[in-house]
Amino acid sequence: MNNVFVYLEIEGTTVADVSLELLTKGRKLATRLGCRLEAIAAGSGLDGIEAQVMPYGVDTLHVFDAPGLAPYTSMPHASILINLFKEEKPQVCLMGATVVGRDLGPRVSSALTSGLTADCTALEIGNHEDKRAGKVYKDLLYQIRPAFGGNIVATIINPEHRPQMATVREGVMKKEILDPAYKGETIRHDVAKYVRDTDYVVKVIDRHVEKAKHNLKGAPIVVAGGYGMGSKEGFDMLFELAKELHAEVGASRAAVDAGFADHDRQIGQTGVTVRPKLYIACGISGQIQHIAGMQESGIIISINNDPNAPINSIADYVIEGSVEEVIPKMIKYYKSHTK
């Protein structure tokens, strides 16, 4: 009762990174709230899940293991969460802002009339005073995310309804093992008690999962281009530089919209979140929606011909100049120094 729950996204028999990131965050929230961290695994052939998640500080793992639960379909997974939450009455529920989380979260929150904040960029615990009602709500989940087109960063609270539900994109939270020897309890549930036969009405007959063409999320160095790169050919320079640095190429939304780069390379609020050791922003102004996806980078270098570009204020190093001039020099330098 009153614990923090994380829904585990499972591909085959492997827990997705976003869920491990949320367990890390969930552990911190549970410790702060003085409650337990609980995780839900629903799928098929889940014997290995315990070993994957316990080191993140899970106190209770709820396992629902049945052939019809993998691959994911909406109704059985929604029934599991709705019925389990009716029994367990969690105070917080977190899930990935993924295709699965975006399908599952709203179904669960509407069935429980709990509300949900999508795409949070930070989660904290704090109080809220409703001055008009003369009421103080203690230890609420602050669900923080950009709002109104990114013009403000809003803190959203849900004082009255439970669970307080939030989704978070992959890469936004940090994944960190708490203790490799951490051992919580595992409860294996009777799936039939939670899922009706009619919930299995949708059957997945065939599935094609396309592998990502690049490793932008995991790259230690990202060379990112913006609208200032001027063209698709301008991006060719970035690919050349990235090759020399063993880096991946990212892009701003303006560059993607202009057709300079593929959509799956977009970094930011509506793209991927990266936290490389080194981020080189080339011709990117640094609007809040872009910064939301890269501000946790170790070192940020900005190459921009505008000394007042907003990105310069968060950059560790600023190279003032045009990308056409600076980037070929960098390529030439690295070519002659990395052989």
Ligand X SMILES: Cc1cc2nc3c(=O)[nH]c(=O)nc-3n(C[C@H](O)[C@H](O)[C@H](O)COP(=O)(O)OP(=O)(O)OC[C@H]3O[C@@H](n4cnc5c(N)ncnc54)[C@H](O)[C@@H]3O)c2cc1C
Separation of alpha carbons 166 and 155, rounded Å: 12
Residues sharing a CB contact under 8 Å with residue 317, sequence separation 6 or more, in sequence order: 299, 300, 301, 302
The yes or no reply on residue 258 touching ligand X (CB under 6 A) is no
Is it true that the peptide bond before 71 is cis, omega within 30 degrees of 0? yes
Burial, 253: exposed, middle or buried (Cβ in 10 Å; 0-12, 13-18, 19+)? Answer: buried
Q: Taking CB under 6 A as the rule, does residue 285 contact ligand X? A: yes
Which distant-in-sequence residues (6+ apart) come within 8 Å of 333 by Cβ? Answer: none
Q: Is 279 in the site for ligand X (CB under 6 A)?
A: no
Instruction: Name the β-bridge partners of 128.
Output: 137
68: closest CA among 42, 99, 49, 105? 42
* Side chain identity at residue 193, one-letter code: K
Map the footprint of ligand X across residues 18-47, applying CB under 6 A: none
What is residue 272's DSSP assignment?
A: B
Is the Cβ of residue 152 or residue 299 nearer to ligand X in the bound state?
152
CB of 228 to ligand X, least distance (A): 2
In the complex, the smallest distance separating the C-beta of residue 289 from ligand X, rounded to whole angstroms, is 3
**Tokens 């940020």 identify what position?**
300
Sole binder of ligand X in the list 221, 255, 274, 331 (CB under 6 A) = 255
Q: How many residues bind ligand X (CB under 6 A)?
A: 29
105 belongs to the binding site for ligand X (CB under 6 A): no
Minimum distance from residue 17 beta carbon to ligand X (Å)? 19
Q: Residues 121, 252, 273, 297: which binds ligand X (CB under 6 A)? A: 252
296-325 residues near ligand X, rule: CB under 6 A: 304-306, 309, 322-324
**Per-residue contact string for residues 113-152; x = within reach of ligand X by CB under 6 A:** ------------------------------------xx--
Whole-angstrom Cα distance, residue 200 to residue 226?
A: 46
- 54 or 251, CB closer to ligand X? 251
Binding site for ligand X (CB under 6 A): 149-150, 226-228, 252-255, 266-271, 283-285, 287, 289-290, 293, 304-306, 309, 322-324
